[in-house]
Structure 1
Amino acid sequence: MSKIYGLTGGIAAGKSTILDFFKTYGCKVYDADQIARQVVEVGSVGLKQIVEKFGQEVLNSDQTLNRQKLAGIVFSDSEQLQNLNNITRPLIKKRILKIIADTKASDEQTISIFEIPLLFEGGYQPYFDGIITIYVNEKVQLKRLMNRNNLTKEVALDRINSQMSMSEKRDRADFVIDNSGDLTHLADEFDKLISQL
């Protein structure tokens, strides 16, 4: 029987990097962000509902979602973020649960990893064989996010503070990978984790 683990962590914690490690190791990898993009594609129910709630100004000229504009609205206003989550989360969850069910029903002896940034917030824990959190201390997280997205400290902190804290995600996980060091350190952490799965 296949095993499927949920992977989470804060923004700029290194989830994409660790997913590459899992891919290289031969695990099947799924990404909730990809599903989040699919549920707001042109012609989707999700995009229609977003436009109804936030207006035409969140669209690009080709009618695709202007993510930067929407992010500017929701990351500085918790009520607007809640409005967005109320639209997208049910659509995303429906697709994710179907993939999990299909994976568990498979006869393959594989390990699958499903990366979900809002795993705890979405209540996904019961559906997985275990939860892995990639952890990074707040100082490193802030620096990485500012550098990666070219953000001011204030904007980066808004984004970090709009999510559950790293320490809470760490405390609620079955397995923790510490990514506060360099890539060599991360590789050691990964090897330790794989031996436990």
Structure 2
Amino acid sequence: MVVVGLTGGIGSGKSTILKCFKSYGVPVYIADTEAKALMNRSKVIRRKLIQLFGEKAYIDQTLNRPYLASKIFNDKTLLAKMNAIVHPKVASHFKRWLKQQDADYVIKEVAIIFENNLQNQYDYIITVVADKERRIQRVMERDNVSKEKVEAVIKNQWSDAKKIEKSDFVIVNNNLQEAKEQAKNIHNNLLKILNH
């Protein structure tokens, strides 16, 4: 099964592009969503996160995301430790999910493929990019956060230029109609390559 990675900085519009691929019948796996679900569902993850962050990691059996975010935002070591707990579980969940799919290819959306040096796990990589100001605006509206907060996240991610260099396909998502066209073209290209 061919696995296509879809990545892009915060606010680039990955979810919108995923909807396009979904509408073409491509199975889609969103790593971030699955990670959050597993952090609530898995007893093993829960136990380890409480060991790492203390009892406040969960409130009423539910992951205390604001608390965790405040802890890991300026602490790379804690973030790495948390990822070491969660990522392997997501990886094995993805493997099980993959076995159940029946399509020419699947898309796995991961926000930080390159930052985490995971590019070798994919047959092809699509990067979604958009103008920085547009991205900041989108995230401020979506998450109700300050411009400074969005810029801090952008600073922690690779630049678009750096990602583009390592990608097989790029979608420029400044104009929705054009972005949809680009997604359609990539889908058709992939089908051509895979059914050659």
TM-score (norm 2): 0.85
Residue 42 of structure 1: how far off its partner (Å): 4.4
Which of 68, 91, 94 is the aligned partner of 2:66?
Answer: 68
**Does the aligned pair in 2 maintain the 1:7–1:115 contact within 8 Å?**
yes
Alignment of 1:163-174 (within 5 A): 163-174=157-168
Question: Which stretches of structure 1, 4 residues or longer, exceed 6 Å deviation after superposition?
Answer: none
Q: What CA distance in whole angstroms lies between the structure 2 residues aligned with 1:5 and 1:15?
A: 13
Match in the other structure for 1:15: 14
Identity of aligned residues (%): 34
Structure 1 CA distance for aligned equivalents of residues 41 and 87 of structure 2: 18
Aligned residue in 2 for 1:58: 57
**CA offsets 1:29-67 (integer angstroms, 9 cap, x no match):** 11112321233124521121111111112221x121011
Matches of residues 1-197 of structure 1 in structure 2 within 5 Å?
Answer: 2-60=1-59, 62-100=60-98, 102=99, 108-179=102-173, 181-197=174-190
| Native 8 Å contact 2:5 2:107 kept in 1 | yes
Contact preservation (8 Å) 2:12, 2:129:
yes
- Computed over aligned residues only, the root mean square deviation of the Cα atoms, in angstroms, reads 2.1
Number of aligned residues: 190
Secondary structure of the 2:6 match is strand
Question: Which amino acid in structure 1 is aligned with residue 52 of structure 2?
Answer: K
Q: Give, in whole Å, the separation in 1 of the partners of 2:47 and 2:161.
A: 36
Distance, in Å, in 2 between the alignment partners of 1:75 and 1:137 is: 24
State the TM-score, normalizing by the size of structure 1: 0.85
